[in-house]
């Protein structure tokens, strides 16, 4: 195991390529929403399930390959950018780690309040902050500051173009108004899809920003409580909230986003995170009661039905991520569970990861296959970033796991 702390940046590292043109997104954090009467609603209480859990001792266990301890605050968000790993902290700092040696490449950060989320788009990094602003960083080789701050959202140009008209102001609380392009509370999550960046906030709104000119094009009163997580696939954006709902938003052509459907969670339980499969058919949400719930769309991306629920952790599920046929869930109970996905959206647990000394706040899986498995990165309130290797089990192992899971950990709907 490798333990890494702060280390100077070597000049030889400056030859590292720019960020990959492939966007990498991270979303983990908190809460609410309104919806028209015509929305499709699905009540999880109308379904019955038989659920049993295999003792933890029956699962495969893992050891961390590295413990990266350089943050001054809790690790709040992760993103993979080509050969770089970016980790953001509640201590305002963002650290860039270089693969495969996992040494610290550089550090950057600015602004008031902690960094809540970050995503990468081409050679830019977007970071969301507690001070309700989004900062835009560009990878630059022309200066010593490799990640250079180039803008803040809303941009000055966008702000100046709207601040004179009273119709551009909205009531945020009693006797207080702000421009509709501004968040009025912490931005908890970000995602990027089809040339648009989506930001979810504790102010209960979902805002839409164009990557091309960085202008805010829409502000949606999305939930009745804080928005904690965002995910997107096949033209649909999903927002998870502390109001216990995941809402699906879509748009056609140049029209504004509209509510396509509501995925109901448990009553009075916050949904802290959301992910969606690549084909857009299956949505998974993690709740504050320790459950992971799965919904399958009914063929039109406008209605979904619950296909399973499982008590995944003893405490709140704070983050989930997908890697092909695997789902990983991180919890306030300090553990990470590895789940194998079934074709119908069901899950069975094939592994458990322990080692963090605090709640697991964020997860990011690498898309690159390594030795018949994949790399998993986890950030925690213990201020560390840990690196794990998760094997993709052989056919025989999968068959044995499937048989065992069918008997001990299967989820049967009746």
Per-residue pLDDT of the chain (414 residues; tens, 9 = 90+): 545 544 333 333 333 333 433 344 444 433 333 333 322 322 323 322 223 333 333 445 677 899 999 898 899 999 998 888 999 988 778 999 998 889 998 888 865 568 999 999 988 999 999 999 999 999 876 666 688 899 999 999 998 998 888 888 888 877 678 899 999 999 999 999 999 999 999 999 999 999 999 999 999 999 999 999 999 999 999 999 999 999 999 998 888 999 999 999 999 999 999 999 988 999 999 999 999 999 998 877 678 899 989 999 999 999 999 999 999 999 999 999 999 998 888 999 999 999 999 999 999 999 887 888 999 999 999 999 999 999 886 433 343 333 233 333 322 222
Contact 60, 351 (CB under 8 A): yes
Check which CATH number belongs to the domain holding 362 and give it: 2.130.10.10
Three-state SS letters, 223-283? EEEEEEEEEEECCEEEEEECCCEEEEEECCCCCCCEEEEEEECCCCCCEEEEEECCCCCEE
Q: Does a structural domain hold residue 292?
A: yes
| Cβ atoms 85, 78 nearer than 8 A | yes
Q: What letter would DSSP give residue 404?
A: H
Considering the domain boundaries, does residue 16 fall inside one?
A: no
Contact assessment for residue 21 and residue 267, using Cβ atoms and an 8 Å cutoff: no
* Domain contains 15: no
Residue 257 lies in a domain: yes
Pairing state between β 271-276 and 282-287: antiparallel
Residue pair 64/51 in contact (Cβ under 8 Å)? The answer is no
pLDDT for position 335: 97
> Is residue 391 within 8 Å of 372, Cβ to Cβ?
yes
Sequence-ordered strand ranges (E) for 122-244 = 124-129, 134-139, 147-153, 169-173, 176-179, 187-193, 196-201, 205-210, 216-221, 223-233, 236-241
- Coil, helix or strand for 328? strand
How much is the pLDDT for 57?
36
Establish if 217 belongs to a structural domain.
yes
Spatial contact of 109 and 101, defined as CB atoms under 8 Å apart = no
Identify whether 351 is part of a domain.
yes
Residue carrying structure tokens 């000055």: 156
d(CA 236, CA 406): 33
The reply to whether 17 falls in a domain is no
Residues 13/255, Cβ–Cβ less than 8 Å: no
Distance separating alpha carbons of residues 236 and 230, to the nearest angstrom: 11
Cα-based distances in Å from 155 to 75, 214, 332:
27, 7, 36
13 lies in a domain? no
- Mean pLDDT across the chain: 80
- CA 59/CA 338 separation, integer angstroms: 10
Closest C-alpha to 350, from 321, 292, 318, 393: 393
Closest alpha carbon to 386 in 62, 161, 118? 62
* pLDDT value of residue 252: 83
Distance CA(68)–CA(212), nearest Å, equals 35
CA atoms 260, 266, 268, 274: torsion sign = negative
The predicted pLDDT at position 33 comes to 34
Q: How far apart are CA 210 and CA 119, in angstroms?
A: 14
Q: Please state whether the peptide bond connecting residue 375 to the residue before it is cis, i.e. omega within 30 degrees of 0.
A: no
Domain encompassing residue 395 = 2-8+22-413
Residue 298: exposure state from Cβ atoms within 10 A (0-12, 13-18, ≥19): middle
Q: How many domains does the chain have?
A: 1
């Amino acid at each position: 195991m490798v333990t890494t702390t702060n280390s100077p940046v070597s000049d030889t590292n400056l030859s590292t390529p720019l960020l990959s043109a492939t966007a990498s997104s991270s979303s983990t954090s908190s809460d609410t929403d309104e919806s028209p009467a015509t929305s499709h609603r699905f009540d999880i209480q109308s379904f019955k399930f038989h659920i049993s859990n295999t003792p933890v001792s029956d699962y495969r266990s893992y050891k961390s390959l590295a413990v990266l301890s350089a943050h001054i605050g809790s690790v709040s968000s992760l993103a993979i950018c080509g050969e770089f790993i970016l980790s953001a902290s509640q201590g305002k700092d963002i650290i860039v780690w270089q693969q495969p040696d996992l040494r610290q490449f550089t550090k950057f950060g600015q602004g008031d309040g902690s960094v809540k989320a970050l995503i990468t788009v081409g050679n830019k990094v977007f970071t969301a902050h507690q001070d309700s602003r989004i900062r835009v960083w560009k990878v630059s080789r022309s200066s010593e500051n490799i990640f250079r701050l180039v803008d803040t959202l809303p941009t000055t140009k966008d702000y100046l173009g709207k601040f004179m008209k009273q119709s551009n102001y909205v009531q945020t609380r009693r006797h207080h108004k702000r421009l509709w392009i501004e968040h009025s509370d912490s931005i908890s999550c970000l995602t990027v899809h089809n040339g648009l960046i989506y930001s979810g906030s504790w102010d209960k709104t979902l805002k839409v920003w164009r990557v091309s000119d960085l202008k805010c094009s829409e502000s949606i009163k999305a939930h009745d409580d804080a928005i904690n997580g965002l995910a997107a696939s096949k033209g649909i954006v999903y927002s998870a909230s502390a109001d216990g709902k995941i809402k699906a938003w879509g748009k056609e052509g140049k029209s504004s986003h509209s509510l396509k459907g509501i995925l109901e969670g448990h009553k009075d339980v916050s949904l802290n995170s959301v992910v969606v499969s690549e084909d857009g058919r299956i949505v998974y949400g993690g709740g504050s009661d320790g459950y992971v719930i799965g919904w399958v769309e009914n063929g039109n991306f406008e209605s979904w039905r619950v296909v399973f629920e499982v008590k995944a952790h003893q405490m709140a599920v704070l983050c989930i991520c997908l890697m092909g046929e695997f789902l990983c869930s991180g919890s306030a109970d300090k553990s990470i569970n590895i789940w194998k996905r079934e074709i119908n959206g069901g899950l069975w647990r094939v592994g458990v990861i322990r080692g963090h000394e605090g709640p697991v706040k964020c997860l990011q899986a690498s898309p690159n296959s390594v030795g018949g498995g994949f790399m998993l990165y986890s950030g925690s309130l213990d201020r560390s970033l840990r690196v794990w290797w998760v094997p993709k089990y052989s056919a025989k192992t999968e068959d044995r796991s499937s048989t065992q899971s069918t008997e001990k950990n299967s989820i049967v709907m009746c």
